[in-house]
Structure 1
Amino acid sequence: MTDATVFERYCTEIVEQNRLFRETLKPGQLDAPVPACPGWTLRDLTIHLGSDHLRAAQLVRTRADTFVRPDTVPGYGGPAELAEAAATDTYAELLGEWLSACARQVSDELRLAGEDSPVWTLTGEDRAFFWARRRTLETLVHRADAAQATGGKFEASPELAADGMDEFLELTSSGAALRWWPAMRTLAERDGDSLHLHATDTSQSDAAEWLIRIGKEGFGWTRAHEKATTAVRGPVADLLLVLTRRLPPTDERVEVLGDRELLDFWLERVGF
């Protein structure tokens, strides 16, 4: 599959994942706390998600070559009319419509730009393809946050969840991550140890397994089946939730083998 084909799928998936997120926005639930985002309500999470779509859209539209501050993005934080409607019965519907419009905007800007258009990114990849993937997969994880907040069920295709695993590891193993998050530099305390993440719901021909090797400077990873200091097994969507600290590794949906302390050590330090 070519980059262009994958890029188009991301542009479509941005809209679809936000449609699924929007289904959680029910009257009376917007003040529900989001466990994975302490201090945030479902309303806050929705505004964060839509606002970051708008920032990515501006980055792509202007072909920005540096970070764009939120206060320079039109509509960031939600439009004034949305705030004015906060106490009305139609607020949930209006919030959902705004989120959908934000998702369509970034999807449209990405399509107009094309996957190879130069634009600033978090990792130095510096092309629009990065933002198509980032907006898709950030929405995927925040869908899980919204489901936890409302008591709903989170489901994701194994293919998309595995892509979320890949992207998370790419971002957190980058040199930028070591600069941004000091806790990442303390991974060296477990230099030489390793983690094996094994999805149990993919076919043998499409096996999803990851081997993470901790070193003196962060970590490296590959898709591989090898013995490790610690192994974590479970459905790939649940592995993604463990990796992004949305599901405790003590949950019965996953199985931890070997040195559990290493997994706890890792989860305390790796993330964004």
Structure 2
Amino acid sequence: MLAAEQDAFAALAAGADLTLPVPACASWSAGALVRHVSAVHRWAAATARLDPDAPLPDHEPYECRADLLDYPAAASDLRAALTDTARPCPTLVGPGTAAWWVRRQVHEVLVHRFDLAAALGVEVTADSAVAADCIAEVVDTLQPRQVRLGRMAAAEVGVRLRTPTGVWQVGADPVAEVAGPEIAVALLLWRRIPLHDPSITVTGDRVTAAAFLAQPLTP
């Protein structure tokens, strides 16, 4: 699935006007977005090649590479580093395996593929299972990490998330239920679409749910 997401992102980036603004990332152009995803891939590939107790490498050298517009090369490097998904390596939440990075990078590309499509003014779709796991990653990994890092306060309330294929709870006791297609709920959690998007329905305390979802649930 990582290769499929990367190929879809690469197809959008090929020949695109890289000066176009990215609506979800106010200060970025399409070119800056491509460079960012390439840098993240290069950094994740280097991290996956380390011993599991090694410290995470510094991002900056990867963000300053001269070849970041060559996205296919960065994508290939990442896939090569993650071939053995059982290989122990560091992750953002402690020692783990390369499989952790496969999941994280699939969702990294998924969200930014929709960012790039929005910049280019084209419609794209997502595999419902991938989008559902993107929701699950926010719930089981990213939002708890944001709390641990002090990027958001420990949740006093929460939201129930419902899609055609699953139900999750993010935060504490739910004050509302948010429902919609898997990709819509995933993009909502990543603050790419608003709660009033027509693809989303809300039952319960909309105001409190909106305030909760406006917090940085993801990096």
Establish whether TM, by shorter chain, passes 0.5.
Answer: yes
Structure 1 residue 229, shift from structure 2 partner = 2.0
> Is 1:177 aligned to 2:146, yes or no?
yes
Q: Deviations over 1:129-159 (max 9, x none)?
A: 1111111111011111111111111311111
> Is 1:115 aligned to 2:78, yes or no?
no
> Is 1:195 aligned to 2:163, yes or no?
no
Q: Using the alignment, how far apart are the partners of 2:41 and 2:31 within structure 1?
A: 16
Contact 2:175 2:204 in 1 (8 A): yes
Give the secondary structure class of the aligned counterpart of 2:123: coil
**Corresponding residue number in structure 1 for 2:167:** 209
Q: Using the alignment, how far apart are the partners of 1:38 and 1:152 within structure 2?
A: 18
Q: Deviations over 1:84-108 (max 9, x none)?
A: xxxxxxxxxxx3xx21111111111
**Corresponding residue number in structure 1 for 2:104:** 134
Unpaired runs of at least 5, structure 1? 1-12, 83-94, 216-227
Q: Using the alignment, how far apart are the partners of 1:71 and 1:248 within structure 2?
A: 31
More strand by share: 2
More helix by share: 1
The structure having more radius of gyration, on CA atoms, is: 1
Structure 1 residue 23, shift from structure 2 partner = 2.2
Structure 1 residue 249, shift from structure 2 partner = 1.0
> Is 1:99 aligned to 2:71, yes or no?
yes
Identity score, percent: 27
**Corresponding residue number in structure 2 for 1:243:** 189
2:132 corresponds, among 145, 159, 162, to 162
Give the secondary structure class of the aligned counterpart of 1:24: helix
> Is 1:66 aligned to 2:66, yes or no?
no
Aligned residues: 217
> Is 1:50 aligned to 2:38, yes or no?
yes
Q: Using the alignment, how far apart are the partners of 1:257 and 1:26 within structure 2?
A: 41
Contact 1:47 1:78 in 2 (8 A): no
Q: Using the alignment, how far apart are the partners of 1:144 and 1:181 within structure 2?
A: 28
Q: Which runs of 4+ in 1 moved over 6 A?
A: none
Q: Using the alignment, how far apart are the partners of 2:123 and 2:189 within structure 1?
A: 18
